[in-house]
Structure 1
Amino acid sequence: MSLCRRRRDPIADTIYTLSPFKRICVILFGAVSIHLTIGTYHTFGNMLPYMASYMRNFTDPSVRIEHMMWIPTFQGCFPFAMVIGGLTSSTFSPRVSAFIGCALVTSSVALSAYAIQHSFAMFFIVYGLLFGLGSGIAYVTAVSTAINWAPDKIGVVSGIVAAGFGLSSSIFAPIQTWIVNPMNLPATKDGYFVQPELLHRVPSLFTKLALIYGCMQAIALIVVCDPPFRKSRSNESIANDVDDDEEDDDYERPVFDNDEDTTIQLSPNEMLKSPTFYCLFAALFCCSFYANMFYNLYKTYGESFIEDDMFMAMAFSIASVANAIARIGWGYLTDRTSFQIALSTATCLASVFLLTMPMTRELGKGAFLFWLTGTFVCMGATHALFITATVKCFGNRHKANNYGYLILSTTASGILLAAISQFYLKTIGYTYLFIITSIFPFFAFIIISCIQWTPQGKLVT
């Protein structure tokens, strides 16, 4: 929260006059709408064959699917941007911070229509770095603002907002496929498209998506705000002696009902000295590795034995809906039990699904859809649970910056994944890739099983 003086926000005042249920619904509408647009980060796997095929045919013949894996890795630079988002939110306001993030995201998508036609390096910078920077700023601002309106329901609120991030794929993946491949033309066994009529639609896809994002974000930004300042009971007698102008000056930062009850409020520097942070960091590294691998390569794997591009889009849409619902469910389970129980359940199931995923090559479409959906349900735990653990372990006050440092682990895991994909995927093949990847969620399970022996670990067990 900002410690600097702020003007009163009339929109925040208006929202606060609503009933508690209605006000959180309004705030969640804004946060979820923003997450629906930036959540298209997870549609990279659906777009990957289109983008790689276009560049191989018109921009750079040396580009392969494996090389494109570096783009989501640097879209994943949003952990750095989350720290920036925390600073911009506290320096200016949540609405200004979210606007900066949304503007960067939409601009990057619009510019990608030009960049993909000229060079891989330009496309990498625009659709990778610029998109990642904007996503991180918008992501952390939206979710932390929503939590500020319901600090006693952190798990459910963060789960609902994260559900918007996950639900995005179910909405936009079919749209992308319908725009680029309305005739359901098949890819080659290597996962590339060669039909000119399909490839020529790829650049315009980015322009159309940017227009959709811009409209959604413009509406959502109206209600992105912190709750208004409320004096505690101990200050009520003082408040009665203050005139209206002086009371306006008291809008320094929101005060929440549970501020006095929160005993742990660690700054980023203090958090970085805690073994609990490094347990969470290592667990998130493992979870994000398997999740990013599956998000980005599920389609190229599936198309190696399923010649139905529209089925792949619809399967991804179904799995993404399950992922979105699961994010709320995992958040609810965390509030009712603990972070440790919820994440342990999700990681054990993920290991089983990944280890047995190669079986779907023989079992066919139905089995692929089941395994895809099951894995996506497990992946839903990652975004919903770790921000909850961050708040419970290190406090609410610095949650944006603290979570930004924690989620740096996703960048590290992304670099490892991109390197493996570029240099070893062709050699080891998908079967061994899934077997190796199944080890990562199991490692996360072991790490979280031991977290209670760290200083703040007992708060999430």
Structure 2
Amino acid sequence: MPRWQRPWQGLACIAGGFVMHLTLGTIYTFGNVTSYLTSYLHVRVSEDVDYATTMWIPALMNMGQGLTLAVGGRLYGRFGPRVACLIGCAVLTVSTALSSQTVRSSVALLSLTYGLGGGIGVGLAYVAPMSSAMKFYQLYVTFLFNTITIGFINPLWKAYGQKNIADDHFLAFVGSAAAVFNSLGRVMWGALCDRTSYRTAMLCACTLLCAAFATMQLTPLGGRWMFAVWVWLVFVSFSANFCLIVTAVANTYGTQHAGPIYGVIFSSSVIGSPISVGLANVFLQKLGFPVMFMIQASFVCVRLDMSNIH
């Protein structure tokens, strides 16, 4: 049997890609870290630092990722997955190491190292593991609204929870479990798509996410566990985008040159991330979390409408 036809190599490719993306996906744990990081910077660096300030870190990470995903796709196509992954992971590692120093001196420098630098590393390495198993596309506008939604809830869910829950250990557990639900959700939505259709699975995911955002403001009435379940519903719902849109676009356009094109579509995060920060700065302080939750629910409704098209 030729080497490329050995079944175990396909499984090894999937396993390796999963492990790598588990590391690259640490961006989704920022909501769990931001309370510690913001507090540290507020005390050690500047009293002007608040949650709105540190939102620029994940925003710049998303921007760096969006700017370099197409480059990572080119690296994959020209030099293969090993080179693309090696370069991306090296940049991410160096950026994280530098952040251990910049966190002590400047929010701006930390945003550049851990935020922008980390995002560039993730972007360069992101495409190769997936393209090695299957090349696929994403819809630009759908991903744009997805970025806006994630860009709000990912860094601020814990800040909202702290308004009514004083147990930081419990909130840390909620955040850790949310990352697990985000991972398992992709498997769940993918399985549903296989058994039904992209349209059915996406309608279910968007409906669940819209309902979770629209009713998030009611969680104080149900206590800490209601809040935990609602956060997990949000994370398991938005995870659908990362597996379902793949199916729709791959079926429509095919898989040729999918890596670079996926990078171009993902570049919508360059637009979506600043919008998330802008909305938070304009509305969060003046109108509070309930209004922001409804705004996010409206963005999900746009994606819900788009799922009827594809």
Question: Normalized against structure 1, the TM-score is what?
Answer: 0.64
Structure 1 contact 390–402 (Cα < 8 Å) conserved: no
The answer to whether 1:29 aligns with 2:15 is yes
| Residue among 325, 349, 353 paired with 2:184 | 325
| Residue among 91, 109, 126 paired with 1:139 | 126
Structure 2 contact 69–260 (Cα < 8 Å) conserved: yes
Map Cα deviations across residues 264-297 of structure 1 (whole Å, 9 max, x no partner): xxxxxxx9xxxxx8xx322222223222321111
AA in 2 matched with 1:24: G
**Aligned partners of 1:124, 1:318: CA distance in 2, in Å?**
26
AA in 2 matched with 1:333: L
**Matched ranges for 1:64-79 at <5 A:** 64-77=50-63, 78-79=65-66
**Aligned partners of 1:434, 1:82: CA distance in 2, in Å?**
29
Map Cα deviations across residues 353-391 of structure 1 (whole Å, 9 max, x no partner): 110011111211111111112111111101112233332
**Aligned partners of 1:74, 1:40: CA distance in 2, in Å?**
14
**Matched ranges for 1:24-423 at <5 A:** 24-77=10-63, 78-147=65-134, 280-423=139-282
AA in 2 matched with 1:23: Q
**Aligned partners of 2:203, 2:43: CA distance in 1, in Å?**
45
Paired positions, count: 308
**Aligned partners of 1:423, 1:50: CA distance in 2, in Å?**
24
Percent identity over the alignment is 31
**Aligned partners of 2:203, 2:267: CA distance in 1, in Å?**
21
Cα shift at 1:33:
1.3
Structure 1 residue ranges without an equivalent (≥5) = 1-12, 149-153, 155-270, 272-276, 452-461
Structure 2 contact 280–292 (Cα < 8 Å) conserved: no
Give the structure 2 partner of residue 164 of structure 1: none
Q: Secondary structure at the match of 1:63?
A: coil
Q: Secondary structure at the match of 1:438?
A: helix
Cα shift at 1:40:
0.5
Cα shift at 1:17:
6.0
Q: Secondary structure at the match of 2:134?
A: helix
**Aligned partners of 2:254, 2:124: CA distance in 1, in Å?**
20
AA in 1 matched with 2:141: A
Q: Secondary structure at the match of 1:76?
A: helix
Give the structure 2 partner of residue 204 of structure 1: none
Cα shift at 1:95:
0.0
Structure 2 residue ranges without an equivalent (≥5) = none
**Aligned partners of 1:123, 1:393: CA distance in 2, in Å?**
41
Mark the CA change 1:354 to 1:70 in structure 2 (over 3 Å): closer, same or farther. Answer: same
**Aligned partners of 1:449, 1:92: CA distance in 2, in Å?**
39
Structure 1 contact 282–409 (Cα < 8 Å) conserved: yes
Map Cα deviations across residues 380-403 of structure 1 (whole Å, 9 max, x no partner): 101112233332222211111111
Structure 2 contact 61–116 (Cα < 8 Å) conserved: yes
Give the structure 2 partner of residue 233 of structure 1: none
AA in 2 matched with 1:302: G
Structure 2 contact 144–272 (Cα < 8 Å) conserved: yes
**Aligned partners of 2:216, 2:92: CA distance in 1, in Å?**
33
Give the structure 2 partner of residue 432 of structure 1: 291
Question: 30-39 or 311-320: which moved more?
Answer: 311-320
Q: Secondary structure at the match of 1:307?
A: coil
**Aligned partners of 2:44, 2:10: CA distance in 1, in Å?**
48
Cα shift at 1:346:
0.6
**Aligned partners of 1:281, 1:83: CA distance in 2, in Å?**
13
Structure 2 contact 189–244 (Cα < 8 Å) conserved: yes
**Aligned partners of 2:263, 2:229: CA distance in 1, in Å?**
33
Mark the CA change 1:402 to 1:310 in structure 2 (over 3 Å): closer, same or farther. Answer: same
**Aligned partners of 1:122, 1:288: CA distance in 2, in Å?**
24
Structure 2 contact 178–231 (Cα < 8 Å) conserved: yes
Question: 73-82 or 286-295: which moved more?
Answer: 286-295
Q: Secondary structure at the match of 2:261?
A: helix
Structure with greater helix share of residues? 2
**Aligned partners of 1:362, 1:108: CA distance in 2, in Å?**
42
Mark the CA change 1:330 to 1:281 in structure 2 (over 3 Å): closer, same or farther. Answer: same
Cα RMSD between the aligned structures?
1.8
**Aligned partners of 1:391, 1:100: CA distance in 2, in Å?**
27
Structure 1 contact 69–422 (Cα < 8 Å) conserved: no
Task: Give runs of ≥4 in structure 1 deviating > 4 Å.
Answer: none
Structure 1 contact 288–382 (Cα < 8 Å) conserved: no
**Aligned partners of 1:321, 1:121: CA distance in 2, in Å?**
31
Question: Normalized against structure 2, the TM-score is what?
Answer: 0.94
**Aligned partners of 1:86, 1:436: CA distance in 2, in Å?**
33
AA in 2 matched with 1:374: L
